[in-house]
A and B are shown apart, each in its own frame.
Chain A
Amino acid sequence: MEQLFEGLLNDHLGFVVWAAVAFLILLFLLAKFAWNPIMSAITERERSIEDALLKAEAAKEEMARLTNENEQLLKDARAERDLILREARHLKDQIVNEAKSVANVEGARMIENARLEINSLKAVAMADVKNQVATLSVEIAEKILRKQFADQHAQDELVADLLKEVKIK
């Protein structure tokens, strides 16, 4: 046993110390100038990539949402347009119908008025015509009578005829 470990420290302590020093210096320098910058760069890049992916996903969702919204809007607008059109048509029909009925009533009223007017005017005119005919008849009769009674003989004859007629009856 003693033989086995003879000179162990004398021969090998040096290498152990050199190796430890070399490794620790290597660890320190690499950690400071290589591992930390490299790891932080990798982490940073990973984070930025992840961020970019998340953002792209969000943008896609936003796009889909916007498209949906647009479609909804379009649909709503179309429905509203249809509604407005339907209402307008309905209103038009209503107005036309109303106008028609009003016109009918008015027309009937006017016709009635006109008829009444015509009737009254006709009555007046008839009365007038009757008067004139009567006057004319009287005048004609006067003229005839005057002519007939200008001659005495004719008057006598007429009276005789009248008398005859009266006698026969």
Chain B
Amino acid sequence: MDFRHILNSKKIFLRVILGVLFTLTTCKTFAIQEEKAPVEAKNAEQEAFNPTTAILEHIADSHYWHLWGETSIPLPVILFTDKGTEFFYASEFHHGHEAHQGKYYTYKLIEDKIRVVNAEGAVDKEASSHIYDFSITKNVVALWIAGILLFIIFFSVAAAYKKTVGKAPRGLQSLIEPVIMFVRDEIARPNIGYRYQRYMPILLTIFFFIWINNLMGLIPIFPGGANVTGNILLTFVMAFIVLIVVNFSANKYYWKHIFMPPVPVWLYPIMIPVELIGVISRPFALMIRLYANISAGHIIVLSLISLIFIFKTLWIAPVSIIFVLFMDVLELLVAFLQAFIFTMLTALFIGTAVEEHHH
């Protein structure tokens, strides 16, 4: 009876929330429509909303961290040029409207990429090819934030283990421990075998790093919102580390399987390249999978939000919000799932590399 009561109250609660939401949004719609009708017409003439550019801008890395409206944090720009190192803030670019006269060249932000421009303001391709952009971009900062969060969480958990030796976990520790046990018992042990302990640190780091970055990416405001794991460069770095770990922990059976596969010798010219491609393609698949999944999630959410701007009406907002809410919940699952799959496949590759064959 109690149970049913709770269910009912939840339903009622949900209805009330939705009701309030609808009334608020509709009221607002009227208000804004009345106010902005003339302005909107003017804006529409000025520049049509292009969802593709807007979305790609949002999921791309940037030299600014956009907060709200016209406010954004300019991030430090570090350039390694053939003449020396340049250091200044991205605010110098004024969102790409102005060129910055540095120590060695004049730089301009074109599509959020730094290019050298000559006196007339045209791009100097030859000089640009000597510039290496090592700026602390939005994704780098997001990485650091995620890293600091991981430090804080796991240092405190490790401290809790020191404090409660041999006792039941408590607090954050009891939240984290099942996940660690999950990585150990469901990912590492079944795939790697008895040597799993050596690979636990890398697997746990990969798992929690991807997971926390995925989750941070779902938060639409400041400390989150960066599309870190949906950045193919980051997934490339992670996949490359996996490639190195797998191939450096590989035993002779693994290499024998690649260079002396159990097939007739005349098939070797085909088999060896295939096996070598396999070595590369497995981490490559990891890279693409994570990047595509997370980017897709971000793109869908942004597309749903863009509907409001495409239709130029707030009437569509409730629909957008409901779908975005649905997608965000789905993305919560995907965030965990992708972290799990990446770690799982890493463990699987390590497992095949360290497996003992007894022919």
Contacts and interface: CB of A to CB of B under 8 A. Distances in A.
Interface of A: 7, 9-20, 22-27, 29-31, 33-39, 41-42, 44-45, 48
Given A10-B132, A11-B133, A34-B157, A26 B140 contact: no
A22 B213 CA distance: 13
Chain A interface helix/strand/loop/mixed: helix
B61 interface: yes
Contacts of A24: 241
B234 interface: yes
Given A14-B78, A37-B161, A20 B154 contact: no
A18 B73 CA distance: 19
Given A7-B113, A23-B238, A37 B166 contact: no
A9 B241 contact: no
A151 B134 CA distance: 199
Interface string B118-143: 00000000001101111111011001
A166 B237 CA distance: 185
A19 B237 contact: yes
Chain B interface helix/strand/loop/mixed: helix
B215 to A, nearest CB: 16
Contacts of A29: 151
A5 to B, nearest CB: 12
Nearest to A37: B158
A13 B132 contact: yes
A18 B136 contact: yes
Given A10-B131, A14-B80, A23-B209, 13 more contacts: A10-B133, A15-B139, A19-B139, A19-B237, A22-B143, A27-B205, A29-B151, A30-B201, A33-B158, A34-B157, A42-B177, A42-B180, A45-B166
B133 A19 contact: no
